[in-house]
Chain A
Amino acid sequence: MMKRNRQLAVLAILLLVSTACMHKAGGGAITPWERITTYNATLAQANNTVEQGVEAAVTSGVLSAQNAQPIIAWTGQVATLHQQITAILATGQSTTANVAAVQALVDQMKASLDAIPPGALGIKNPKSQQTFKADADSIFSLADAVLTNLKAVIK
């Protein structure tokens, strides 16, 4: 518990320092599309980090390759689905059809997790120090944030 608290404290300090830099050089407001695409990029990075974590878990012997395989495959599925979301966002249009398409892709992303045995999801990711299930929930939170912000700018 103490280790986790220390990690969160370090994280909070890093974020407070780093996010202080998240501004335009001229001090202008950040647009909704900048926010959407930044959240979207964060999701891709988070998924990549999870994939690396599963590999590390196998390397360290925490997880067998057999049990890791469905999680690794899931990160590949998430990346493939997410490429479709990014392609939609790259059009720069928040139409009803685009929002529906992104919603469908996010739903598939969430549903695909069901194929992973619960036991494997309960293993702790050595990269994040939380379970792979918690990692997946974090990715879903980001997907929901992208969707919510996209809906907010619908035309």
Chain B
Amino acid sequence: MNPALIEELVSLILQLGPLALNMFLKLEPLLNITTDEKANIANAIASSNKADQDTINAVAAWMATHGFVPQVKFVVKAAA
């Protein structure tokens, strides 16, 4: 157990207020960290990608259902 990290994470999530309450069940898998660092990171990356893809799919479906023109693929302007 890492008390400092736990304290930091609690502080961070508490800043989210009620939003964090709704996210609790979604976040639970991330709280089960193993001893394998690579696996933990891969799990977090996969969780992140899945959530983002779920959001993108949900946005596209909602737009279509409500008769809005699908948004143009957002142009990413990352630093060169």
By a beta-carbon cutoff of 8 Å, the part of chain A in contact with chain B is 4, 7-8, 10-12, 14-16, 18-31, 33-35, 37-53, 55, 58, 65, 69, 72-73, 75-84, 86, 89-90, 92, 97, 100-101, 103-105, 108, 125, 127-130, 134-135, 138, 141-142, 145
B contact patch SS: helix
Nearest A residue to B20 via CB reads A11
Question: Beyond A18-B28, A44-B47, A69-B66, is A34–B17 a contact (Cβ under 8 Å)?
Answer: no
* Contact A47 B52, CB 8 Å, known A27-B1, A90-B45: yes
Cβ < 8 Å to A, chain B residues 1-54: 1-2, 5-6, 8-10, 12-24, 26-28, 30-35, 37, 40-41, 44-45, 47-54
B22 and A127 form a contact (CB under 8 A)? yes
Which positions in B face A, CB cutoff 8 Å? 1-2, 5-6, 8-10, 12-24, 26-28, 30-35, 37, 40-41, 44-45, 47-56, 58-60, 62-63, 66, 68, 71, 73-74, 76-79
State the Cβ distance, A142 to closest chain B Cβ, in Å. 7
Q: A51-B55, A145-B12 are in contact. Are A128 and B44 (CB under 8 A)?
A: no
Is A105 a contact partner of B44 (Cβ separation < 8 A)? no
Give the contacting residue for B33; candidates A18, A30, A72; CB below 8 A. Answer: A30
User: What total count of A-B pairs have CB within 8 Å?
Assistant: 217
Complex-state Cα separation, A71 to B48, whole angstroms: 20
Extra contacts besides A73-B59, A138-B19, A142-B16 (11): CB < 8 Å: A18-B27, A22-B31, A26-B35, A37-B40, A38-B30, A41-B30, A44-B55, A65-B68, A90-B45, A129-B18, A135-B19
**Chain A residues within 8 Å of B21, by CB:** 7, 10-11, 14, 128
